[in-house]
């Protein structure tokens, strides 16, 4: 590797001069010298060592985004928002995919925290047992931001959140108003706060409308297609009657749809299905799935902005932001009057 020293030698100047020129701080370096340096840099194909640079500047200009499942378009949107914001601010984004594995998530956090990136954005996956890491990071003033990860113990961490309770409430209400009484619910992985909140919204709606909560209709999913499929199959096999199903995210709703189809059910005539997230999926099902839109991209932009403020040492204008969700009717629900109940 060619270093700045070699450039300096070859140019017959000091390394200070080279450094200055290369960093555009050469207010008092003659044009000839500058030119000569640039020429030699080109010639020797010199690439400054960012690691050495970071050591003295204490900056990498990189941030990391930790996501549980990059194949979920919801997180792909988050990634895009974060990336865009980074790029327009001279930062770079490293994406870290944990595959919903706590250990992997933690390992990433541990590694990244060693100053490899200037800060991180962490999405979902709660793992209370590891909250201590965040407390340490908070103590040592390491900049990080949450997206959709809430913990009472970590109230002071800036974050960006969807109004999950309200969202789940309103989509459940939609089903109730169509006359549904037996509404199945697929949770997300209960290690995440949003999975809890969505369940809470569902429960609250049922309670407010004086409908019983049937624990048998509530099943634990994993926010993935296969989970939605499996749990719905299980529900259908058990023959507990239900006329609507609320999957905590769209991916599971897809799985539920598939399971229902295989069971020969017409959607929405025989079964209403709703999801959550409003992900942009190429899946060409008909009808598409009614859902709650979460402004993932905007949330990511906001989270990144907050993080960058933190990195610059500024207190961000808002450090906790809640986003309202929007009901998107795509036709996968129907009034119960039309329901031809399946056996």
Partner DNA sequence: CAGTAGAAGTAAAACGTTTTACTGGAAGGA
Partner DNA sequence: TCCTTCCAGTAAAACGTTTTACTTCTACTG
Which of a copy of itself, DNA, none lies near 97, with the C-beta cut-off 5 to 8 A by kind? a copy of itself
Read off the DSSP letter of residue 282.
Answer: -
User: Quick one: 90 or 215, whose CB is closer to a copy of itself?
Assistant: 90
Site map for DNA, 22-41, x if CB under 7 A?
A: xx-x--xxx-xx--------
* 96 lines the binding site for a copy of itself (CB under 8 A): yes
CB of 156 to a copy of itself, least distance (A): 17
User: Quick one: 161 or 254, whose CB is closer to a copy of itself?
Assistant: 254
**CB-based contact 270:298 (threshold 8 Å):** no
Stretch that binds a copy of itself, among 17-25, 28-36, 55-63, 231-239 (CB under 8 A): 55-63
* 20 lines the binding site for DNA (CB under 7 A): yes
Q: Establish whether the linkage from the previous residue to 246 is cis, with ω within 30° of 0.
A: no
Interacting residue with DNA among 9, 10, 13, 101 (CB under 7 A): 13
* 70 lines the binding site for a copy of itself (CB under 8 A): yes
User: Quick one: 4 or 100, whose CB is closer to DNA?
Assistant: 4
Interacting residue with DNA among 16, 88, 207, 326 (CB under 7 A): 16
Read off the DSSP letter of residue 317.
Answer: S
Of the candidates 247, 234, 255, the residue with the CA atom closest to the CA atom of residue 274? 247
Return phi, psi of residue 119, to 5°: 180, 170
* 245 lines the binding site for a copy of itself (CB under 8 A): no
Interacting residue with a copy of itself among 39, 92, 238, 341 (CB under 8 A): 92
User: Quick one: 20 or 302, whose CB is closer to DNA?
Assistant: 20
User: Quick one: 184 or 296, whose CB is closer to a copy of itself?
Assistant: 296
């Amino acid at each position: 590797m060619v270093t700045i020293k070699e450039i300096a030698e070859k140019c017959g100047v000091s390394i200070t001069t080279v450094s200055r020129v290369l960093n555009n701080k050469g207010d008092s370096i003659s044009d000839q010298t500058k030119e000569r340096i640039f020429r030699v840099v080109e010639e020797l194909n010199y690439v400054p060592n960012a690691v050495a640079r970071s050591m003295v500047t204490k900056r990498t200009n990189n941030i990391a985004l930790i996501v549980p499942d990059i194949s979920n378009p919801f997180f792909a949107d988050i990634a895009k928002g974060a990336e865009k914001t980074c790029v327009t601010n001279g930062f770079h984004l490293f994406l870290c995919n944990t595959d919903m594995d706590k250990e992997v998530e933690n390992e990433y956090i541990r590694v990244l925290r060693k100053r490899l990136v200037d800060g991180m954005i962490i999405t979902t996956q709660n793992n209370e047992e590891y909250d201590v890491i965040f407390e340490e990071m908070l103590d040592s003033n390491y900049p990080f931001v949450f997206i959709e990860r809430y913990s009472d113990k970590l109230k002071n961490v800036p974050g960006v959140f969807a109004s999950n309770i309200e969202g789940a409430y309103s989509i459940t209400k939609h089903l109730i108003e169509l006359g549904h009484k037996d509404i199945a619910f697929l949770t997300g992985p209960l290690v995440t706060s949003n999975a809890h909140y969505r369940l809470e919204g569902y429960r609250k709606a049922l309670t407010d409308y004086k409908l019983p909560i049937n624990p048998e209709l509530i099943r634990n999913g994993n926010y993935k297609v296969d989970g939605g499929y499996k749990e719905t199959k299980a529900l259908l096999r058990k023959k507990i009657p239900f006329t609507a199903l609320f999957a905590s995210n769209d991916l599971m709703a897809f799985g539920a749809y598939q399971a229902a189809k295989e069971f020969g059910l017409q959607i929405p005539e025989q079964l209403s299905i709703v999801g959550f997230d409003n992900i942009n999926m190429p899946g060409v099902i008909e009808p598409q799935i009614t859902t709650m839109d979460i402004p993932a991209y905007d949330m990511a932009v906001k989270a990144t902005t907050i993080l960058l403020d933190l990195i610059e040492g500024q207190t961000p204008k808002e450090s906790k932001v809640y986003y309202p969700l929007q009901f998107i009717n795509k036709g996968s629900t129907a009034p119960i009057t039309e329901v031809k109940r399946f056996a």
